[in-house]
Amino acid sequence: MPGGDSTHIPAAADVVEARPSFLVRFLRDLVRSPKGMVGFVIIVILLATAALAPLLAPHDPTLQVLTDRFLPPFYAEGGSVDHLIGADNMGRDLLSRVILATRTSVTVALIVIVIIMVFGSAVGLLSGYFGGMVDSLLMRLVDFQLSFPFILLALLLLAIFGPGFSTLIVALSVAFWVNFARLVRSETLKLREAEFVQAARSIGVSHAAIMIKHILPNTLPSIIVLATLDIAVIIISEAAMSFLGLGIQPPTPSWGMMISDGRNYLYDSYWMVLGPGFAIVVTAVGINLFGDFLRDTYDPRQSRL
Amino acid sequence: MGAYLVRRLLQALLVIAAVVFVVAMLVKLVPGDIVDMMAIGNPAFTEEDAERVREELGMNRSVVEHFVVYTAGLFEGELGNSIRHRQPAATLIAERLPATIELTVVAMIFALVLAIPIGVITAIKQGSVVDQVGTALATLGVAIPGFLLGILMIMLFTVELGWLPPSGRSGSVVVALYHSVVELDPGILWESLRYFLMPAAALAASIVAINSRLIRSTMLDVIRQDYIQFVRAKGAPTRVVYIRHALRNALIPSVTILGLQLGFLISGAFIIENVFAWPGLGRLAVEAILWRDLPLIQATVLVSSIIFVALSITVDLVYRFLDPRIDYARR
């Protein structure tokens, strides 16, 4: 986080207060907030599951065992502890599939968030710093895209490239980059007039250096808060696209597709929907709680929406 | 106001022109030979058919020529022919459009009817059990995707309780409302409305969660204002203070984000339709993508975009009446 000579915090104050390191402060804030703690634990579990998915999965997620078709969860009649939450219509172990699908969701979300953070922030920074014609044109585009239905953009891209992993990444990136552009632009507008930036400019620091060394670090808290909250939205959108058959394609397991499979067997095998459904909701709740905590602690100016 | 309206309409025309351009260019943008791809798995599709479709889609025309021909066709109501359905796309869309519009409008009504009282009550009873339950439900409401909520509702209300139909639509709710009033038989309305309940609720859920929170927090801000204290001090009954003075001003931010939520609602409707086998544009569009039925995709995206742009303008103008303080000249 920002510290040292590139921010507007005078170096002397750091010495006088002898502030604890960022990590120590972060952990202290986290322990004080039950909301943040719950969210943090869920995110750690989520990331660990994604990273270790093949090791954690008790079975091969694509292995079809005919005799296991529609096997109920362990607590139900006919269920077995070997397949804790049952098996699907093709006799594949549901728990293993939910675990592997976690990796799919996290991968998609991380790729998309990195793309839109870099691209959106760059656009916002340039637009806010230089202003003028380019700025007003870009902001028109942003305003328009913020309200334009995501699904219509996605359909256009799907029509061109067909459903698949890369189309999904592109569609989600196109849909969500505007949030970052808008946020970074409005922060840049404020910082541009700040005294420390004026000072830097007066001693002849280049535009690029001012933007990257002086303005960008000060927008980081807001960027991180937005990124956290956006990840939940991206995961939900990915699940929705995969549910429609327009996102992740088989045989890669994804929560949305698993729910779509289960939708056909609601009368007899309701458990096919419960595992992936539970995973989505817990993930989204956890990320939102943690994001709210980050915002309340580090960026209280951002409104509730 | 007049100048604003003119500028807004010009902007809208620009947006629609851009959408028309992108949609027209779809034919050119798709990599590989789309007609060959469409023909896969259809042995009855001969080389003559392929040539005819290529001609129809304008694949043999230059970019500029294609754009001009396509746009000219639009003015004559020509939206191309669906390859899969072997019907004009315009006919298919005209059949499905009312279902999507009704679903979206019913969901919006649900959202408003629920979000306002929830927001007001949780604000007045801040910190109480009711407020805490509201907070918990809102947290859940934002985190649960509409399609999942829809499926969970089918599990409860159809599979377990057998109260509501799991899918489909039984005619227009507006027509049903008319007949129900004319014949004084609420049963007719219910017969149509019961198909709407689950899809509309699933579509409205996250909006209810967001808006009730927003109304709650703005209510809390407004209640602390001096003029509310003044109304209270002059002895107005609590109910009047909250409803007539506080709620009115607390509603403005929610109405403002309604425009943004319109796009969200349309996206949601496209997804929810596929959960409940709702015969609307969303299902048509998803099927068109899966069948690579390019003319049908072009037509659905185009029509949906135009409707969306028209609706956003309407919402903008409605604000103007709700809050005359909004200064359009400065935007």
A150/B264 CB distance under 8 A: yes
- Give the contacts of A193 (CB within 8 A, at least 6 positions apart): none
ipTM: 0.85
* Radius of gyration in angstroms for the set of CA atoms belonging to chain A, rounded to a whole number: 23
CB A174 within 8 A of CB A153: yes
Q: Pinpoint the alpha helices (H) of chain B.
A: 2-29, 34-39, 47-57, 63-75, 89-124, 129-143, 146-153, 173-182, 186-223, 226-233, 238-240, 248-275, 281-290, 294-322
- Integer Cα distance of A143 and B174 in angstroms: 34
Which phi and psi (to 5°) does residue A204 adopt?
A: 85, 25
Assess whether the previous peptide bond of A72 is cis (omega < 30° from 0).
Answer: no
Tokens describing residue B99 = 């279902």
Tell me which residue in A155, A262, A305 faces B210 most closely, judged by beta carbons.
Answer: A305
Distance from B226 to chain A by nearest Cα, in Å? 23
Instruction: Check if B15 contacts A (Cβ < 8 Å).
Output: yes
Instruction: Check if A144 contacts B (Cβ < 8 Å).
Output: yes
Contacts of A158 in chain B (CB under 8 A): 289
| pTM, rounded to two decimals | 0.87
Tell me which residue in A147, A149, A240 faces B145 most closely, judged by beta carbons.
Answer: A240
Mean pLDDT throughout A214-239?
92
Residue appearing with tokens 């799907």? A158
B145/A149 CB distance under 8 A: no
Residue appearing with tokens 């996250």? B206
pLDDT in tens, B152-169: 999 999 888 988 888 888
Predicted local distance difference test score (pLDDT) of residue B41: 66
Q: Which of A155, A150, A143 is nearest to A173 (CA)?
A: A150
pLDDT in tens, A133-175: 888 888 878 877 877 888 888 888 998 888 899 999 999 999 8
CA dist A89 → A71, A222, A263 (Å): 9, 45, 11
pLDDT in tens, B24-76: 888 888 777 777 777 776 777 777 777 887 877 777 777 788 888 888 888 88
Tell me which residue in A150, A246, A280 faces B289 most closely, judged by beta carbons.
Answer: A246
Contacts of B257 in chain A (CB under 8 A): 305
Q: Which amino acid is at A59?
A: H
Our CA angle for B256, B261, B266, nearest 5°, is 145
Tell me which residue in A151, A259, A289 faces B270 most closely, judged by beta carbons.
Answer: A151
Distance from B112 to chain A by nearest Cα, in Å? 18
Q: Which stretch, A1-5, A101-105, A181-185, B158-162, has highest mean pLDDT?
A: A101-105
Instruction: Check if A122 contacts B (Cβ < 8 Å).
Output: no
Q: Which of A159, A152, A225 is nearest to A187 (CA)?
A: A225
- Give the contacts of A72 (CB within 8 A, at least 6 positions apart): A78, A79, A86, A269, A271
Q: Which of B66, B71, B59 is nearest to B34 (CA)?
A: B59
